[in-house]
């Protein structure tokens, strides 16, 4: 039984298979019902706009059905442990459970029961493997060859599971990563080039991944006013100019703090392409975990 908790759960061959399947799915108007009669369960303890619906659409496009548990209406609010909630869902014998939770270790803990394939849809600041895979796909689609591409990750890196997974995955494909953030948002345990000023990297990268401040993970407000932060880290017409780079963001975008309105609608912005690609990448991930493993 294969789980996807971090991208390290996948071999390079499996990742290449996902990228290849995703490209094929992207070209098919009517994808085959590879997952007919399969049932997936989504268990989202944190909010989600893109990831939950993307998994659901991906499953349905391949002919599977999807059931949701809404934690705000579940028995966890009556005192049931999360473990018991999971075991009860698993007892209904779904073909996989897609989980998001603020606890870094919960998805792995449930995977260790080995009852049903576990797909991590975001765990604390630890990992968001399908986001990293869709970002990798988007880079490959644009640049063709991944080796040697230079990307700057900008924003609240230390609190971001998107950054953790991107850093872990991109490094395996020879992508060169630099980190741009104020001291408060900069991780200290990573051996990567670090910059405080956006202008020091923008002339020397092929892509920029912007990340929002993870306000829900801050114990107390880190910046009183995000206008000053934006004046240093927002991607704007002024600092991007006519540079030949692409702009990425996992969403939700804090408009005019992370990326200006103008740059968001610029053809160099891949933000909505990432969402589209996420669908095909998740179809490929479901195929790999439910059929090929």
Q: Where do contacts with ligand NCD occur on this chain (CB under 6 A)?
A: 50-51, 122, 128, 131, 161-162, 212, 250-251
Q: Which is nearer to ligand NCD, 34 or 40 (CB)?
A: 40
Q: What's the min distance (Å) between Cβ of 251 and ligand NCD?
A: 5
Report which residue's Cβ sits closest to ligand NCD.
250
CB 290 within 8 A of CB 35: yes
All residues at 6 or more sequence positions from 10 whose CB lies less than 8 Å from its CB, including other chains: 4, 18, 129
Q: Which stretches of 102-139 are assigned E, i.e. beta strand?
A: 118-123
Q: Which is nearer to ligand NCD, 14 or 274 (CB)?
A: 274
For the CB of residue 169, give the shortest distance to ligand NCD in the complex, in Å.
15
- Dist. CA 120–CA 252, nearest whole Å: 19
Q: Pick the closer one to ligand NCD by CB: 34 or 180.
A: 180
Q: How far is the CB of 153 from ligand NCD (least distance, A)?
A: 12
Q: Which is nearer to ligand NCD, 263 or 275 (CB)?
A: 275
CA–CA separation, 104 and 126 (whole Å) = 5
Pick the closer one to ligand NCD by CB: 50 or 172.
50
Number of C-beta neighbours around residue 223 at 10 A: 15
CB of 205 to ligand NCD, least distance (A): 21
Dihedral angle, C-alpha 43, 44, 48, 49, nearest 10 °: 30
Least Å distance, CB 78 to ligand NCD, is 27
**Residue 285: C-alpha distances to residues 114, 291, 292 (Å):** 18, 10, 10
């Amino acid at each position: 039984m294969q789980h996807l908790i971090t991208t390290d759960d996948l071999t390079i061959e499996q990742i290449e298979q996902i990228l290849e399947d995703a490209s094929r799915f992207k070209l098919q108007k009517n994808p085959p019902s590879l997952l007919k009669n399969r049932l997936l369960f989504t268990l989202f303890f944190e909010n989600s706009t893109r990831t939950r619906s993307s998994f659901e659409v991906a499953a349905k496009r391949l002919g599977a059905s999807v059931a949701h548990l809404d934690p705000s209406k579940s028995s966890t609010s009556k005192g049931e442990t999360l473990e018991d909630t999971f075991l009860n869902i698993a007892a209904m014998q779904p073909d996989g459970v897609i989980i998001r939770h603020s606890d870094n270790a919960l998805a792995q803990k449930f995977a260790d029961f080995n009852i049903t394939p576990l797909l991590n849809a975001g765990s604390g600041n630890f990992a968001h493997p399908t986001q990293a895979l869709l970002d990798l796909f988007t880079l490959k689609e644009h640049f063709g060859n991944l080796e040697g591409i230079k990307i700057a990750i900008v924003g609240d890196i230390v609190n971001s599971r998107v950054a953790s997974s991107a850093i872990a995955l991109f490094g395996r494909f020879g992508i060169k990563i630099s980190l741009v953030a104020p001291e408060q948002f900069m991780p200290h345990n990573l051996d990567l080039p670090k910059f405080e000023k956006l202008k020091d990297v923008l002339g020397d990268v092929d892509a920029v991944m912007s990340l929002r401040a993870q306000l829900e993970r801050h114990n107390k407000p880190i910046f009183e006013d995000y206008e000053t932060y934006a004046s240093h880290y927002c991607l704007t017409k002024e600092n991007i100019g006519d540079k030949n780079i692409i702009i990425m963001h996992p969403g939700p975008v804090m408009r005019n703090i992370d990326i200006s309105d103008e740059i968001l609608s610029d053809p160099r912005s891949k933000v909505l392409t990432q969402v589209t690609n996420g669908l095909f990448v998740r179809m490929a991930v479901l195929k790999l975990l439910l059929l090929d493993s």
